[in-house]
Structure 1
Amino acid sequence: MTCSDFADEVVAWDEGLLDEASASRLEAHLATCPECRGLLAEIRDLVGRLSGDERGRPVGSLVAPVMDQIAGRTIVQARRRAFVGRVSRAAAASIVIALGVGYLAFGPSRPGARVHAAGLKEAKAGMENAASATWKVSFYQELFAKGGRSGRWFRDANSDKSYSYKAPGRYRCEHLSPDGKVVFVAIEDRASGTRIEINHLNKTAALTTMGIAFESHYDPKGPFAMYLDAMESPDLIALPARKIEGVDAVGFRKEPPDGTPYPYDRIAFDFWLGAKSKTLVQCRWPGADLFDESDVAQNAVAFPIPREQGVDDGGRAYFLAPDAPDRPAYSGHVFHDIVFNPPLDDALFQLDAPEGYVVKAAQPPRIVETDVTGFLGVVADFFDGNFPDRFPHFSRDPEASKRYAKAERAVLTKANPSAAETALIEAMRRWYATGIPGPGPVHVFLRDQIAPGSWKYLGKGVKRGDKDRIVAWYRLKNASGYRVIHGDLSIKDASASELPLPVSP
């Protein structure tokens, strides 16, 4: 059967009019022809975008371009109209059933084609229900040659990690030295809300209770939540099939939705599933459109390094900061050596320090309102006496991020930073040192002290000291009224009716 024969018979196949021998011949062609499979998948993709009340309606010009490709522009218009008029969700379902499992149900094989993720449900469910898993993570940093916008990637020799997971919610992370020795271990039990960090270098351990200030390092949905969530996306991109760690793999790219506001949230990432196992083989952030594994330097670098210090590679020096101010320096990571359902001893997840280690219980700081207003004041001073447009994620704003990076360099290198720059960098580092994830104490205060959804920030256009302007409001847990922060950083009580904008009950 040729591709033209396929185009002629697909209409009859769709209508169930092919005899058994002809249907078998068509399905055999599908099994060996990625082009026809891809074109069929494109039809399924287009049909899948129709809303429920459009079932059975002609899709007209949407499908016509695809039909032109299938038919090689040889099918008569009458046959095309007959087929297009019958394309519906039900027809798409029959195509999926006819294709069966021989094509992995992973969508089109042609690189760059859009993929509906329905076929990934089986793979996702299997990984979500895994009783255990192990994996490794390697971290990378992009460095730049002088005078060039393009960079080269270097692996961070100080950041290799090895992970273990055992359901329900038990994690072990081992930090490895450049020579592969375990120097630091963090074990977390989400059920008990307890975490222990064991430092083998100085034989100490810290036992913490997660909650205020101390957040879990893992998503409640599991160790691969970011990638499993991507499998529900209606619009993945197929990557060229390849071998990953010696395994035949099918790859997908997840792009962020249009209009995503923050630069780092606008970065695509890739993940790969074993063609036979249908489980994750490798995950990469960012995707290969930015993180080109073919351009990773052979020699790893022991980060962190000063910005002014060059790293030699092949006789050329590379630096952290690009010469072009509008060109960000990316970092990235790769999940690899992923194994699902290996046998793991419960002893790996015991929250006990080795004998002879000094154990201390870390006491998280209690975040109060004055911590929040104090930090807001430091931030406003940093922005020349103006509250930032966005908060508490002001550091994700591109211009604010550049400004913060410049201030941090000035403070660390003692290059005449201003008092406001010094105050902000010191405040950020002080809160980070206490275990606060940042920025400052605000994020933790919002999560642990206020009623969910009650925070509203209105700092845009408000100057520091303006007592008549509202910067933010919120409702403390178990409280009926609201607390309002003004531009002079005073806090006053208010009812919902006194707020300038309506609030949810």
Structure 2
Amino acid sequence: MRSRITKPAIAAAIAVAVLVGINLTGRSGVAFADIVKPFLAARTATFKMTMEVQGAPPQTFDCMYAEPIRMRQANDEQGVVVVSDLLAGRIVTLNAAQKHAVVMEITNIPDDPNQNQFNMFGEIRRHIQEAREAPDDSVTFLGEQQIGGRTAVGYHVRTPGAELTVWADRQTQLPVSIQRVAGPTTFAMTNIVFDVDLDESLFDLTIPDGYEVATLHADATKPMEGDLLQTFRLWAEHNEGSLPPSVDMNAPMAFVMAQQTKLQQDGQEPSKERMLQLQQTIMDMGRGITFVEKLPAESDWHYAGKGVTFGDAATPIFWYRPEGSGMYRVIYADMNVREVPASELPKAPDS
């Protein structure tokens, strides 16, 4: 029998896994710094957010943001509401139809809440700040185009791990749309309105009476090399000893699709406990992917683990140069790590 819970549960797993001054005028006369200023200064905001992940149907949420770093996301079609308060360290997902709640407890919240990867509004703010402070060509003018009957000017923004495309009304200089692309995942923000009055009750984390409650755990500390090792271990544990085909944002999606295939082949409806375990595993694996995503270009990292079996002590699968070091760290398929000079590095898989 084909599982009735697989598709919505997998979609929820994806959502959890994946949810964390340039002086440039171009030819338009509208500076990048001017069009992003309202976004950086907003106390509150409302907008529509559409999330697209390769291999899954798009999901659209009506979103509200309120300082300090709180979010409310509602999908009326699915009957799902997600409320997050990152200073409180909690994200609550409510499914009214199933009377089911998932509480994500977040520990080690950074001092600067905008550095928290669990809030998309804060994430985009961080990307914009990085671009404004970068001394290189992180921001590129895209020209003008018509959007909804208005002339809009656009900028493309490159930051470590993600790219943004910002379109703003030429006359008002207010953002019309902001798109964030990271690997196979795209977030698009539209219908953006800043500094609106929002009732505090909209951000209430209280779970209604009669709801079944499950809990997930997330660590907001900066991911380290050990998190990447754990990602390899978890992948192998759930995929017959194989290692991931990549260590970019495509990896979580590949994991989800592999697990979806297994669940369908089993012919049995997975329990809520099993789906909760899957969500937790995806979140834990995401820390290792984020570690790689945040490595600077100077780290010269390479991944050679595709098709390799976990435990092979002779096969190097990942290497990189830590910041400020003249040596490279090489991870082998048995999770042993060695330091070697550049002259002794393995051959890169793409060379």
User: Quick check: TM above 0.5?
Assistant: yes
Structure 2 counterpart of 1:200, one-letter code: A
Q: Which protein has the bigger strand share?
A: 2
**Residues 222, 346 of structure 1: CA spacing in aligned structure 2 closer, same or farther, 3 A cutoff?**
farther
Supply the distance in 1 between the matched residues of 2:239 and 2:147 (Cα, whole angstroms).
Answer: 52
Q: Distance in 1 between matches of 2:285 and 2:169?
A: 39
Q: Distance in 2 between matches of 1:134 and 1:228?
A: 21
Aligned twin of 2:103: 207
| Aligned CA distance change for structure 1 residues 391 and 432 (closer, same or farther; 3 Å) | same
**2:201 matches 1:347:** yes
Normalised TM-score (structure 2): 0.57
User: Residue in 2 aligned with 1:500?
Assistant: 340
Runs of 5+ consecutive residues of structure 2 not aligned to the other structure: 1-22, 109-115, 220-225, 267-273, 294-298, 321-328, 343-351
Aligned equivalent of 1:123: 35
Larger Rg: 1
2:81 to 185, 189, 211: 185
The AA in structure 2 aligned to 1:123 is: I
Equivalence for 2:19: none
Residues 391 and 208 of structure 1: is their aligned pair in 2 closer, same or farther, counting only changes over 3 Å?
same
On the 8 A contact 2:227/2:291 being kept in 1, the answer is yes
Work out the percentage of aligned pairs sharing the same amino acid: 16
TM-superposed CA distance for 1:185, in Å, is 1.4
CA distance in 2, matches of 1:396, 1:491: 22
- Does structure 2 conserve the Cα–Cα contact (< 8 Å) formed by 1:375 and 1:441? no
Contact 1:197 1:206 in 2 (8 A): yes
How far the C-alpha of 1:237 sits from its partner, in A, is 1.3
Say whether the 8 Å CA contact 1:141–1:331 is kept in structure 2: yes
Residues 439, 197 of structure 1: alpha-carbon distance in 2 compared, 3 angstrom cutoff: same
CA RMSD across the alignment: 5.3
Aligned residues between the structures:
280
Alignment of 1:170 onto 2:75: no
3-state DSSP class of the match of 1:107? coil
Q: Does 1:108 align with 2:27?
A: yes
Structure 1 segment 242-257 matched on structure 2, within 5 A: 242-244=146-148, 248-254=150-156
- Residues 228 and 289, structure 2, Cα contact 8 Å, conserved in 1: no
Amino acid at match of 1:160: T
Q: Residue by residue, what CA displacement relative to the aligned partner does 1:402-426 show, whole Å, maximum 9, x if unpaired?
A: xx899678656649xxxxxxxxxxx
CA contact (8 A) 2:48 2:62 kept: yes
The 8 Å contact of residues 247 and 303 in structure 2, kept in 1 or not, is answered as: no
Q: 1:435 to 1:344 in 2, by over 3 A?
A: farther
Structure 1 Cα separation of the partners of residues 180 and 291 of structure 2: 30
Deviation at 1:136, TM superposition (A): 1.0
Superposition pairs of residues 319-338 of structure 1, within 5 angstroms: 334-338=188-192
Q: Secondary structure at the match of 2:340?
A: coil
Give distance in 2, aligned partners of 1:243 and 1:369. 42
Offset of residue 334 of structure 1: 3.6
| Structure 1 unpaired stretches of 5+ | 1-92, 94-104, 110-114, 144-153, 287-329, 416-427, 448-453, 475-482, 493-497
The one-letter amino acid paired with 1:275 is R
One-letter code of the match for 2:35?
A
Name the counterpart of 2:44.
132
Give the direction of change, closer, same or farther, for the CA distance of 1:392–1:211 in structure 2 (3 Å limit).
Answer: farther
Secondary structure class of the residue paired with 2:103: strand
CA distance change for structure 1 residues 230 and 431 in 2, over 3 Å: closer, same or farther?
farther
Normalising to structure 1: TM-score of the pair? 0.42
